[in-house]
């Protein structure tokens, strides 16, 4: 059975929230719902209906996202959910296919998402393009290397997050264009980052801010929450959760981290996600003490292969014919000749035989420069008919800075 799909209207909002709370087995406070609604663009949403009942939906945000060599417009897919009563009926597949068709027709070449379940989105052509690491750090293990950078002109200042918002925005905007995957934060997005109601706290204390600055202005910041704790013997067992940390230069970066790790009465530091190549590993005297765990970050889907491959830079020259079979977005199926160097790229259809054949999610995984195509070759999903073509493509698509967005949307 097929279910009609149309864009949502504001009157659909209450029913859509019910779908999300049912699908995610969660509860969302009125404050959080209102913040979420302010982010939403109803013209970029889709809802499926069974009669008059809204049974599933999704939406996208329009982001300016960093990619290798610059920034480009990316559709951030969000709030994908189907009522539990209507699972396994093709509702999700219909929504995802329609969404990708709409994106391509609007001229949006790239989609990105955070996956609630990592087994779902590969079937729709998404590839895991960015990974992060989560750290658990014991206070006793926070010694920095003697070679850690420092600057005597820097000073640290504890700030009220609400009052220092312009400081955070200034630092973040300077940093976010340097790492593929990071995206511009709108005013409603910053409202969410700085939210401090009970649901946002998750049992922790109030949101706190730390700024590193000199006489020229701010150079770094951190946002965190702490929870007090003592054992029966009055041994401190406090916990600190770090949510957001950015800096414009190495000395400020080290100073902000040091300011967080030096807080009194904290026994354990929890860091939910940082980039896979975060320099903090190199700053620690004993990096093993970070107790790092890999976590997946952004998944990328090329809604329009031709356009997407020309909207990023390449680390090395490449001239390769890429064969793609894309059953979800059939307009991508065919052979595409990518000719690129460090100054630009073209991608055009060709009748020449393919030098390499790839699933479209492999291109999505490699798009931000953090995933080698050789891993896909090892699984048998990729193949080459011209020796060296896959290596050349993988090298060209690589990028020195590992991709990471670091903020779920």
Is 409 assigned a catalytic role? yes
- Residue 106 annotated as lining a ligand binding site: no
Number of neighbours of residue 284 by Cβ within 10 angstroms: 21
DSSP SS3 for 121: helix
Q: How many whole angstroms separate alpha carbon 67 and alpha carbon 308?
A: 10
- Residue 90 annotated as lining a ligand binding site: yes
- Residue 97 annotated as lining a ligand binding site: no
Is 121 assigned a catalytic role? yes
- Residue 81 annotated as lining a ligand binding site: yes
Number of neighbours of residue 212 by Cβ within 10 angstroms: 27
Q: How many whole angstroms separate alpha carbon 190 and alpha carbon 168?
A: 9
- Residue 89 annotated as lining a ligand binding site: yes
* 333 CA to centre of own chain: 27
Catalytic site residue from 16, 40, 63, 409 = 409
| Token pair of 291 as six digits | 């107790």
- Residue 193 annotated as lining a ligand binding site: no
- Residue 116 annotated as lining a ligand binding site: yes
- Residue 220 annotated as lining a ligand binding site: no
Q: How many whole angstroms separate alpha carbon 357 and alpha carbon 199?
A: 47
Number of neighbours of residue 327 by Cβ within 10 angstroms: 11
- Residue 88 annotated as lining a ligand binding site: yes
Q: How many whole angstroms separate alpha carbon 365 and alpha carbon 406?
A: 17
Q: How many whole angstroms separate alpha carbon 332 and alpha carbon 303?
A: 8
Q: How many whole angstroms separate alpha carbon 252 and alpha carbon 154?
A: 7
Q: How many whole angstroms separate alpha carbon 54 and alpha carbon 12?
A: 8
Residues with Cβ within 8 Å of 132's Cβ and at least 6 positions away in sequence, in order, are 273, 274, 275, 276, 294, 295, 296, 297, 404, 406
Catalytic site residue from 40, 63, 121, 284 = 121
Please report how many Cα atoms fall inside a 13 Å half-sphere around the Cα of residue 234, on the Cβ side. 0
Q: Are 168 and 221 in contact (CB under 8 A)?
A: yes
Catalytic machinery residues: 121, 409
Q: Which residues are annotated as a binding site?
A: 80-82, 88-93, 116-117
Q: Which residues are annotated as a binding site for acetyl-CoA?
A: 80-82, 88-93, 116-117
């Amino acid at each position: 059975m097929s279910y009609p799909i149309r864009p949502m209207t504001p009157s659909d909002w209450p029913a859509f929230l019910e779908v999300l709370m049912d699908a995610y087995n969660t509860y969302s406070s009125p404050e959080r719902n209102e913040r979420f609604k302010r982010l939403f663009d109803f013209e970029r949403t889709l809802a499926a209906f069974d009669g008059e009942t809204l049974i599933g939906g999704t939406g996208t945000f329009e982001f300016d996202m960093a990619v290798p060599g610059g920034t480009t417009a990316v559709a951030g897919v969000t709030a994908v959910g189907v009522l539990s009563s209507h699972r396994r009926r093709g509702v999700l597949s219909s929504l995802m296919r329609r969404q990708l068709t709409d994106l391509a027709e609007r001229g949006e070449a790239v989609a990105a998402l955070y996956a609630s379940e990592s087994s779902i989105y590969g079937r729709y052509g998404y590839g895991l393009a960015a990974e992060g690491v989560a750290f658990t750090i014991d206070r006793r293990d926070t010694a920095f290397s003697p070679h850690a950078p420092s600057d005597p002109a820097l000073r640290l200042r504890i700030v009220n997050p609400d009052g220092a918002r312009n400081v955070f925005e200034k630092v973040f905007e300077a940093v976010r264009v340097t790492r593929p995957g990071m995206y511009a934060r709108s005013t409603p997005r910053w409202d969410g980052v700085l939210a401090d109601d009970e649901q946002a706290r998750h049992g922790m204390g109030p949101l706190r801010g730390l700024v590193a600055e000199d006489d020229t202005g701010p150079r770094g910041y951190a946002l965190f929450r702490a929870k007090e704790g003592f054992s029966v013997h009055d041994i401190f067992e406090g916990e600190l959760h770090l949510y957001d940390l950015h800096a414009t230069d190495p000395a400020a970066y080290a100073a902000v981290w040091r300011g967080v790790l030096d807080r009194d009465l904290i026994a354990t530091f929890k860091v939910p996600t940082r980039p896979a190549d975060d320099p903090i590993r190199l700053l620690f005297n004993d990096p093993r003490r970070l107790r790092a765990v890999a976590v997946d970050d952004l998944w990328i889907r090329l809604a329009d292969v031709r356009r997407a491959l020309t909207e990023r830079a390449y680390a090395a020259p490449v001239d390769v014919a890429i064969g793609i079979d894309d059953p979800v977005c059939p307009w991508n199926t065919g052979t595409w000749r990518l000719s690129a160097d460090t100054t630009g790229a073209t991608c055009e259809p060709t009748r020449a035989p393919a030098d390499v054949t790839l699933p479209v999610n492999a291109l999505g995984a490699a798009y931000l420069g953090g995933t080698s195509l050789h891993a896909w070759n090892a699984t048998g999903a990729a193949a080459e008919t011209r020796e060296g073509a896959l290596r050349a493509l993988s090298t060209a698509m690589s990028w020195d800075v590992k991709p990471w967005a670091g903020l779920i949307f």
